[in-house]
């Protein structure tokens, strides 16, 4: 039993192993901190977590305990970089925490750090024999829980490997600090957290009207951050289903750069104005309309071509090799947030004419565009096609009552020629059950009168989250 000799620790435990130190952290104390400091030089890494024991009903919520432990570890990390807070190890059973650790750091040697007070209960732990195979134990003596050699013997018989830690510091009882908790007994960083969140109210003499949650201030620390001007650029589509043409709204630029070129209608975001509000403003300046579909597309920095289509960086260069483009290092930069809009075809006519400078182009006949607007337009076009296939945007811009053929024309205009035939489209659409037959009939041309349908939002509501196919 010489392994139980305290002084044997420093030479028996190799500095290549990982220490696992779970605790309730309710709250974490200076003793916990000192144990970590004591463990740090002896192990390659020290992993700590707050145990998630659902049976302790009186316990402070795991969130708070994790936050406090994170603060405590954060204080140490500048000196002891190898100490790590690992919330993903929070499990009800220690076995599961240890198993997770094995998955995180395969082929590592683990030492589980425990207080001597848990030894009597250890025999009944969940699958303790399996646990014994996975970790060595490092037992730290606690006052009131002297080491019982026969107990350790019986556990050793079942497969446990125990070492005794030569740690001598303050006791680690959280119960004491919780119950007799005066702020001065806690570490300052913990005390601050405790008072801010109103924990341990029963005993803590917290300032009566201390703020519980902090106001979300708007101040950010300055560094060599860049300053930006932010603009929105809109890709606005209208569907002329009768002529089978998809139209896009462009506007001609009045100033350099690209003076005289066509581009996407856009604007700079004004002080106090939201992104989406700016996008709406651009539309309202060019068009008079009441209904539309609008969503954010993509954000482009001004630096080089971004490709929103890029699938992956897999197997590529290490990420540290990503280099900052050398262009545009001067002064204020420009950021473009693009939005994508679909408006009713009728509204295309209602263009506000005075100085609007907007014009509709068929999407397959757009002129060369300013900046990278051709890319943005292509991306928006792609998004429109995808959106149509799995979401009912079409009904946002079709008239309130419509014939099924109108819907069909709309879809085939946007999605192109290789499109399903009318009768199958029809039956699929109706089977979704989101269209109401109004009973009204209408005659658009020669031929049998068509029923007018209405989109039924309440029938659609439950399908909102379902992946639907409208094709």
**How many other CB atoms are found less than 10 A from the CB of residue 276?**
14
Which of 393, 432, 450, 468 binds its own copies (CB under 8 A)? It is 393
> Footprint of its own copies on residues 238-267 (CB under 8 A)?
240, 242-243, 245, 247, 250, 252, 254-262
Can you read off the two tokens belonging to residue 39?
């463990």
Out of its own copies, DNA, none, what residue 166 binds, judged by CB under 5 to 8 A for its kind, is none
∠ CA 390-429-291, rounded to 5°: 65
Q: In this complex, which beta carbon is closest to DNA, that of residue 271 or of residue 469?
A: 469
Whether 263 contacts 369, CB under 8 Å? yes
Nearer to DNA by C-beta: 147 or 471? 471
Among 274, 416, 433, 449, binds its own copies (CB under 8 A): 274
Q: Which stretch binds its own copies (CB under 8 A): 8-16, 28-36, 367-375, 418-426?
A: 367-375
For the window 388-417, what string marks contact with DNA as x by the rule CB under 7 A?
---------------xxx------------
Which residues between 77 and 106 bind its own copies (CB under 8 A)?
Answer: 77-78, 81-88, 90, 96, 99-100, 103-105
Smallest distance from its own copies to CB 170, Å: 24
φ/ψ bin of 200: left (φ > 0), alpha (ψ from -120 to 50), beta (otherwise): left
Q: Which of 183, 451, 454, 456 binds DNA (CB under 7 A)?
A: 451
Nearest-approach distance from CB 287 to its own copies, in angstroms: 9
Maximum Cα interatomic distance, the chain, rounded to a whole number of Å? 102
421 binds, among DNA, its own copies, none (CB under 5 to 8 A by kind): DNA
Specify the residue, 137 or 455, whose C-beta has the smaller distance to DNA.
455
228 binds its own copies (CB under 8 A): yes
Any bridge partners for residue 111, and if so which?
19, 136
Interface pick for its own copies out of 2, 11, 121, 219 (rule CB under 8 A): 219
Q: Taking the complex as a whole, how short is the minimal distance between the CB of residue 436 and DNA, in angstroms?
A: 13
Q: What are phi and psi of 463, to 5 degrees?
A: -90, -5
Give the total of residues touching its own copies (CB under 8 A). 142
Chosen residue from 133, 229, 424, 427 binding its own copies by CB under 8 A: 229
Site for DNA in 421-450 (CB under 7 A): 421-424, 426-428, 430-431, 441, 443-450
CA distance 319 to 306: 17
CB 432 within 8 A of CB 389: no
In contact, 439 and 451? CB cutoff 8 Å: yes
Q: How far is the CB of 341 from DNA (least distance, A)?
A: 28
Shortest separation between residue 104's beta carbon and DNA, angstroms: 21
**Cis amide prior to 93 (ω within 30 degrees):** no
Interface residues for DNA in 72-91 (CB under 7 A)? none
Tell whether the torsion through CA atoms of 10, 13, 18 and 20 is positive or negative: negative
Cis preceding-peptide flag for 27 (omega within 30 of 0):
yes
Q: Is 33 helix (H, G, I), strand (E, B) or coil?
A: helix
Structure tokens at 193: 């957290």
Q: How far apart are CA 268 and CA 275, in angstroms?
A: 9
Kindly state whether residue 434 participates in binding its own copies, applying the rule CB under 8 A: no
**DSSP string for 154-217:** HHHHTT--EEEE---SS---HHHHHHT--GGGS-HHHHHHHHHHT-STTT----TT--SS----
Query: Using the rule CB under 8 A, is 167 a contact of its own copies?
Result: no
Measured distance CA(240)–CA(190) in Å, rounded: 64
Q: Is 216 in the site for its own copies (CB under 8 A)?
A: yes
Q: Does residue 420 bind DNA (CB under 7 A)?
A: yes
**167 or 402: CB nearest DNA:** 402
The contact mask relative to its own copies for 316-355 (x = CB under 8 A, - = no) is x-xxx-xxxxx-xxx-xxxx-x-------x--xx-x-xxx
Q: Which is nearer to DNA, 328 or 471 (CB)?
A: 471
**409 CB-near residues (< 8 Å, 6+ apart):** 241, 242, 244
Collapsed DSSP state (helix, strand, coil) of residue 341? strand
Contact residues toward DNA (CB under 7 A) are 403-405, 420-424, 426-428, 430-431, 441, 443-451, 469, 471
């Amino acid at each position: 039993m010489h392994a139980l000799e305290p002084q044997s620790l420093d030479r028996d435990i190799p500095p290549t192993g990982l220490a696992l130190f779970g605790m309730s952290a309710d709250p974490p104390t200076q003793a916990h901190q000192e144990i970590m400091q004591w463990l740090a030089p002896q192990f390659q890494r020290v992993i700590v977590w707050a145990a998630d024991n659902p049976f302790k009903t009186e316990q402070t919520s795991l969130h708070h305990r994790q936050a406090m432990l994170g603060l405590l570890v954060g204080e140490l990390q500048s000196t002891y970089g190898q100490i790590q807070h690992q919330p993903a190890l929070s499990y009800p059973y220690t076995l599961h925490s240890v198993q997770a650790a094995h998955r995180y750091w395969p082929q590592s040697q683990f030492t589980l750090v425990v207080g001597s007070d848990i030894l009597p209960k250890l025999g009944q732990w969940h699958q303790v024999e399996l646990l014994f195979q996975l970790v060595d134990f490092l037992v730290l003596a606690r006052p009131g829980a002297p080491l019982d050699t026969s107990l350790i013997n019986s556990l050793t018989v079942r497969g446990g490997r125990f070492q005794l830690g030569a740690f001598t510091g303050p006791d680690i009882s959280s119960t004491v600090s919780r119950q007799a908790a005066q702020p001065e007994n806690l570490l300052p960083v913990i005390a601050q957290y405790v008072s801010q969140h109103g924990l341990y109210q029963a005993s803590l003499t917290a300032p009566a009207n201390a703020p519980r949650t902090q106001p979300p201030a708007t101040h950010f620390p300055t560094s060599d951050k860049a300053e930006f001007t932010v603009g929105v650029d809109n890709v606005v589509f209208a569907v002329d289903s009768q002529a089978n043409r998809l139209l896009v709204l462009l506007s001609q630029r009045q100033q350099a750069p690209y003076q005289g070129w066509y581009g996407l209608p856009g604007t700079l975001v004004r002080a106090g104005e939201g992104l989406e509000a700016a996008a709406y403003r651009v539309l309202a300046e060019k068009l008079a309309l009441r209904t539309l579909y609008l969503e954010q597309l993509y954000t482009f920095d001004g630096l080089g071509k971004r490709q929103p289509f890029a699938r992956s960086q897999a197997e590529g260069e290490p990420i540290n090799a990503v280099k900052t483009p050398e262009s545009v290092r001067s002064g204020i930069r420009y950021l473009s947030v693009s939005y994508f809009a679909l408006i009713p075809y009728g509204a295309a006519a209602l263009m506000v004419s005075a100085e609007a400078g907007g014009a509709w182009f068929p999407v397959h006949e757009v002129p060369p565009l300013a900046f990278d607007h051709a890319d943005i337009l292509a991306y928006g076009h792609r998004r429109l096609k995808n959106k149509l296939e799995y979401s009912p945007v079409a009904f946002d811009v079709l008239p309130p009552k419509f014939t099924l053929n109108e819907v069909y024309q709309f879809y085939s205009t946007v999605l192109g020629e290789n499109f399903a035939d009318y009768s199958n489209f029809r039956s699929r659409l109706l089977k979704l059950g989101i269209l109401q037959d109004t009973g009204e009939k209408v005659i658009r041309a020669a031929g049998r009168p068509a029923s007018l349908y209405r989109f039924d939002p309440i029938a659609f509501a439950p399908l909102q989250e379902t992946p639907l196919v409208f094709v």
